[in-house]
């Protein structure tokens, strides 16, 4: 079996991949994640997932490399990681009472053959109507500044939602495991 590598520095993605109980390594890719002019959410996350995997493949033979990237889409606009409290507040105020679509790109790349499997998985989050006080209290407690959409669904962020809609709740956190299991099986790795 080829070694399995997660092309990510995300602790959230590592925790998700741990669920599959497969041995793997993490290597952080160094790529420019800027969107290209006119690039839609699906094309962006597919491209970035593939670029992350390719960045690791250049120096890592005999590996299956998992690349993943995620964006949130609100009213047609791609919103990323807020990085600051002010931007997180603005994102949550805008999302209040609305639905946000999360698009997660997933790539499994064989570094020897350069064969890749790529997909984009949708997940929808329907936010409750939130008061400014609720948003401020949430930001005080969780500081989700490195998370697309300004929340941590695996934590207190769940209290912000009316409902969740999608095939794989793991995709909301950043790694669609249901699709990844199928990709791994296609590459000859049986998870079970």
Q: What is the pLDDT of residue 148?
A: 84
Confidence of residue 1 (pLDDT cuts 50, 70, 90): low
Question: How do 25-26 and 161-166 pair as beta strands?
Answer: unpaired
Domain with 88, as residue range(s), is 3-186
Of all residues in the chain, what percent carry a pLDDT higher than 90? 87
DSSP E strand stretches across the chain: 3-6, 25-26, 63-74, 77-79, 99-110, 116-127, 161-166
pLDDT at residue 38 greater than cutoff 80: yes
The domain total for the chain is 1
Instruction: From the candidates 69, 77, 140, 167, give the one annotated as an active-site residue.
Output: 69
Q: Would 124 be classed as within a structural domain? A: yes
Place of tokens 């070694």: 3
pLDDT at residue 97 greater than cutoff 60: yes
Mean pLDDT of 138-166: 93
* Per-residue pLDDT tens over the stretch 61-90: 999 999 999 999 999 999 888 999 999 999
| Across 45-54, 116-125, 147-156, least confident range | 147-156
Q: Would 99 be classed as within a structural domain? A: yes
Q: What is the pLDDT of residue 178?
A: 97
The reply to whether 140 belongs to the active site is no
The pTM assigned to this predicted structure is 0.92
* Per-residue pLDDT tens over the stretch 98-139: 999 999 999 999 999 999 999 999 999 999 999 999 999 999
Q: What is the pLDDT of residue 65?
A: 98
Q: What is the CATH number of the domain that holds 158?
A: 3.90.950.10
Q: Would 181 be classed as within a structural domain? A: yes
DSSP annotation string for 126-170: EEPP--HHHHHHHHHHH--TTSTTS--TTTGGGGGEEEEEES-HH
pLDDT at residue 93 greater than cutoff 90: yes
Q: Estimate the crossing angle of helix 85-95 against helix 132-142, to 10 degrees.
A: 130
Average pLDDT score, the chain: 94
Q: Would 192 be classed as within a structural domain? A: no
Q: Would 191 be classed as within a structural domain? A: no
Cα 121 to Cα 82, 185, 190: the distances in Å are 22, 18, 22
Q: What is the pLDDT of residue 34?
A: 87
């Amino acid at each position: 079996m080829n070694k399995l590598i997660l092309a990510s520095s995300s602790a959230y993605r590592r925790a998700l991949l741990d669920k599959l109980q497969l041995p793997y390594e993490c290597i952080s890719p160094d790529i420019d994640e800027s969107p290209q002019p006119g690039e839609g959410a699906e094309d962006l996350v597919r491209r970035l997932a593939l670029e992350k995997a390719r960045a690791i493949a250049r120096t890592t033979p005999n590996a299956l490399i998992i690349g993943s990237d995620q964006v949130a889409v609100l009213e047609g606009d791609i919103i990323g990681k807020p990085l600051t409290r002010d931007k997180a507040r603005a994102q949550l105020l805008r999302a209040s009472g609305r639905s946000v679509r999360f698009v997660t790109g997933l790539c499994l790349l064989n570094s020897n053959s350069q064969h890749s499997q790529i997909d984009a998985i949708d997940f929808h989050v329907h936010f409750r109507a939130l008061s400014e006080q609720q948003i401020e209290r949430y930001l005080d407690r969780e500081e989700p500044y490195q998370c697309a959409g300004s929340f941590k669904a695996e934590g207190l962020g769940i209290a912000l939602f009316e409902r969740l809609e999608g095939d794989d709740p793991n995709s909301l956190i950043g790694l669609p495991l249901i699709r990844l299991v199928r990709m791994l099986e296609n590459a000859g790795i049986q998870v079970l």
